[in-house]
Amino acid sequence: MEALLAIKPIRNPEIKRTQLFINNEYVDCVSGKTFESVNPATEETICMVQEGDKADVDKAVAAARAAMKRNSPWRKMNPADRGKIIGKFADIMERDCAMIGTVEVIDNGKPFLMALLDIFNCANIFRYYAGYCDKIEGRTLAMEDGKMGFTKYDPVGVVGAITPWNYPFAMSCVKLAQCMCAGNAVVMKPPELTPLTTLLMGDMAIEAGFPPGVVNIIPGYGPTAGAAISEHPDINKIAFTGSTEVGHIIQSASGTSNLKRVTLELGGKSAVIIGKTADLDKAVSMAQDACFVNSGQLCLALTRTFVHEDIYDEFVRKSTELATKTREKFGDPFTPGILYGPQIDRVQFDKIMDLIESGKKEGAKLECGGKRLNGKKGFFIEPTVFSNVQDHMRIAKEEIFGPVQQIIKFSSIEEAIDRANNSTYGLAAAIFTNDLSEALYVANALESGHVWVNDILALTPNTPFGGYKQSGIGRELGWEGLLSYLEVKTVIIKI
Ligand code: NAI
Ligand code: MG
C-alpha cells in the first residue's frame, strides 16, 4: 500500500487509443461511426471512440480463427514460452500503472488508489496463469488390458469476452489471462461506458509478444457488437460479466446459434449475517465497506445486512455514524484520501435514486444519506443506510449497485439462513461470529458461490469466483476458471 501511495497520476494524459484492435493493428471501424466516452466525475466528454459492430466482429473473429489454425505460431508455441509472454504482460502493466490508472480514473471515476490496486491485483492474476501454462495436465485412465487411455486439455478455440464498466481494466484482465493461459484467441468487447483502458491492451499485447490475431478488441454497444459476438457461429465460448438480464440474452443466443460454451458472471443481492457474538465494531465497519466499495458498483456487494436482534439497535446507530463520517471520503477521484467516486452515469444514478425513493415509500427507515452529494459535479450519491428493512421491499430484493446499505433484524440463525437464501441470486455471503460451530453451520447452509467468515470480499487469483442460481454459470479464476477455457479430449489406444 505504501508503494502505491507514492505513485502519482499523469497530468492531462493523451488518450492515444480510440480505435479497434484487430490482428495486432489499431484500425478504424467499418461503419465510420464513433461514440463518446464520458468522465463520470465531471460529466464531460473525454474523447470519441470508434464504434465496432457486426462487420468488425467478423473481421476480428477471422483474425482469431487464423491465429488458432493448426501449426500456427500460437498453436505450436511451447507452453513455457506462452507463460513468458503472459508474465511479460504483467510486467508491462505494472511499469505503465500510472498511465493505465489515470485513464481508468478519467473513464470510470474510481479513485486513483483503487485503480492502482486493480492493476497490481491483475498483474498477480497474469503471473498466476503464466505459471499455470506448463501445468495443464490430464489423467491416465483405468482401462481393460490391451488398451491405454488418457485425457488431455485443448484450448476451447476463439473466446468472446464481454465485460462491464464497474471494473473495466480488471474484468478484461481476468478473462484475457485465462484465455491466454489456455492457449485460446480472444475477441474482447469492452463496455461502451468505459472502453479506454481495455484499448491500451493492444499495445501491451504487441510488446509482450502475442502473435497477430490472438488478442482482438472491439469497443461498441451491447445490442450491436455484443450481440454479434454472442450470436457468432465461429466463436466457441463466451465469457460474460454484467447484468442478469443480459446474461439471459447471451445464454439464449448460444442456444439459437452454435451452442457455444457460456460462462456468466452476473448480479447479486448478497447477505452478511451478524451473529450476536460478533466483534461489533469490526462487523459494523466491514459490513458497510462491503456495501460501499467502488461506490456500491460491485456484483459481490453484501447489501443485505442481517443483524441479530440483541445487537441490532447498537449496530444501526454505529453504522449510521460511520456512514455519515464516510461522506468525507466521497469526492474527486484524483484527490488523495478520497476512497469513493461517483456512479458511472446518469442512468445508474437515476436507478439508484428511484430505489432509494421506493425504500422510503415502502416503510424502511432512512437513517442517513439518500441524496445527491451536494456541491459536487458528477454522479455522486451520499453513502446511505436504511434500517427496518423487510424482505418484500424492492431495496431488499433488487440489485441497487450504489452505496446503499439495508439493515435487517433477525431472531434466530435458522431464520437468518432461510431469509438470506430466499433470493433469486446466490453470489456471495458473509458471517460475523465468534462461535466456530455457528460459522461452519452457516457457511454450509448458505446457497452462494462465496462465503467469508469474519472477513469480506477476499479474492486472490486462485479463488474460484462465481455464483449459484441467477448469479451466473461457471466460475472465473483458479483452476476451475481455467477449466472453462479448455476442452477435455479423451484418447484411447488399442495396444
Ligand atoms: P449490461 O449487462 O447491459 O452491460 C454489461 C456488458 O454487456 C456491456 O459490455 C454491454 O455492452 C454488454 N451487453 C449489453 N447488452 C448486450 C447484448 N444484448 N448482447 C451482448 N452484450 C450485451 O449492464 P448495464 O446496463 O451497464 O448495468 C445494468 C445493471 O446491471 C447494473 O445496475 C447492475 O445492477 C448490473 N451490473 C452487474 C455487473 C456485475 O459485475 N455483475 C456489472 C455491470 C452491471
Ligand atoms: Mg466513461
Give residues with Cβ within 8 angstroms of 92, minimum separation 6: 204, 207, 208
Q: Is the CB of 104 under 6 A from ligand 1?
A: no
| Residues 202 and 336 occupy one common structural domain | no
Strand order, beta sheet including 450-453: 365-368, 384-387, 404-410, 304-308, 271-274, 428-432, 450-453
Is the residue at 286 inside a domain? yes
Cβ neighbour number for residue 32 with a 10 Å cutoff:
8
Ligand 1 closest atom vs CA 165: 43
Asked whether 56 and 218 are in contact (CB, 8 A), the reply is yes
Check: CB of residue 311 under 8 Å from CB of residue 276: yes
Phi then psi for residue 451, to 5 deg, are -135, 125
CATH number, position 237: 3.40.605.10
CB hemisphere CA count around 145 (13 angstroms): 0
Can you tell me the distance from the alpha carbon of 406 to that of 428, in angstroms, rounded to the nearest whole number?
16
Q: Give this prediction's pTM.
A: 0.98
pLDDT computed for residue 332 by the predictor: 95
| 246 Cβ closer than 6 Å to some ligand 1 atom | yes
User: What pLDDT sits at residue 254?
Assistant: 98
Q: Atom 10 of ligand 1 has which residue's CA nearest to it?
A: 222
Looking at the structure, tell me whether residues 160 and 289 fall in a common domain: no
* In the predicted structure, residue 2 carries a pLDDT above the cut 90: no
Q: Are residues 217 and 100 in the same domain?
A: yes
Segment 258-276, tens digit of pLDDT: 999 999 999 999 999 999 9
Averaged pLDDT, 233-261 = 98
User: 208 and 68, same structural domain?
Assistant: yes
Report helix, strand or coil for 292: helix
Which active-site residues does the annotation give? 265, 299
Q: Is the pLDDT of residue 231 over 80?
A: yes
309 and 164, same structural domain?
A: no
Alpha-carbon Rg for the chain in angstroms: 23
In a domain, 466, yes or no: no
Question: Is the confidence at residue 96, as pLDDT, over 80?
Answer: yes
Cα of 128 from ligand 1 centre, angstroms: 28
Q: Is residue 92 part of a domain?
A: yes
Residues 238 and 309 in one domain: no
**pLDDT tens-digit map of 296-322:** 999 999 999 999 999 999 999 999 999
Indicate if 108 and 59 belong to the same structural domain.
yes
Kindly tell me the sign of the dihedral angle through the C-alpha atoms of 319, 321, 322, 323. positive
Measured CA to CA, the distance from residue 154 to residue 173 in angstroms comes to: 21
Domain presence at residue 102: yes
Same domain, 182 and 33: yes
pLDDT over threshold 90, residue 376 = no
**297 found inside a domain:** yes
- Which ligand has the minimum distance to the alpha carbon of residue 241? 1
Q: How far is the CA of 118 from the centre of ligand 2 (A)?
A: 17
Q: Which atom of ligand 1 is nearest to the CA of 247?
A: 2
Question: What is the pLDDT at residue 214?
Answer: 98
Whose grid coordinates read 509482450? Answer: 208
Whether 407 and 427 have beta carbons less than 8 Å apart is answered as no
> What number is the average pLDDT over the span 468-482?
98
The answer to whether residue 401 sits within a structural domain is yes
pLDDT at 128 over 90: yes
Instruction: Say which DSSP state 162 is in.
Output: E
Range of the domain at 52: 2-266+471-494
Indicate which CATH number applies to the domain containing 281.
Answer: 3.40.309.10
Same domain, 251 and 294: no
Specify the number of domains making up the chain: 2
Residues 76 and 214 in one domain: yes
pLDDT at 374: 77
Residues 188 and 153 in one domain: yes
The pLDDT tens digits for 12-67 are 999 999 999 999 999 999 999 999 999 999 999 999 999 999 999 999 999 999 99
Distance from Cα 467 to the centre of ligand 1, integer Å: 16
Exposure string (b/e) for 225-249, b if CB count within 10 Å is 16 or more? bbbbbbbbebbbbbbbbbbbebbeb
Ligand nearest to the CA of 35: 2
Distance CA 354, CA 385 (A): 15
Task: To the nearest 10°, report the CA torsion of 107, 109, 111, 116.
Answer: -30
Instruction: Evaluate whether residue 348 is within a structural domain.
Output: yes
Query: Does ligand 1 lie within 6 Å of residue 241's CB atom?
Result: yes
Please, which pLDDT band fits residue 351 given cuts at 50, 70 and 90? Answer: very high
Ligand 1 centroid–CA 435 distance in Å is: 39
| pLDDT given at position 1 | 81
Q: Is the CB of 428 under 6 A from ligand 1?
A: no
Give the residue, out of 38, 246, 401, with the most ligand 1 atoms within 8 A of its beta carbon, to mutate for a pocket test.
246
Least confident of 5-14, 94-103, 140-149, 371-380: 371-380
In which band, very low, low, confident or very high, does the pLDDT at 377 lie, cut at 50, 70 and 90? confident
The residue nearest atom 8 of ligand 1, judged by CA position, is: 191
- Interval 186-221: pLDDT, tens: 999 999 999 999 999 999 999 999 999 999 999 999
C-alpha cell at 487: 476442452
**Same domain as 299, residue 163:** no
Residue 390 belongs to a domain? yes
How does DSSP assign 349-370, residue by residue?
A: HHHHHHHHHHHHHTT-EEEE--
**Contact 122/170 with Cβ under 8 angstroms?**
yes
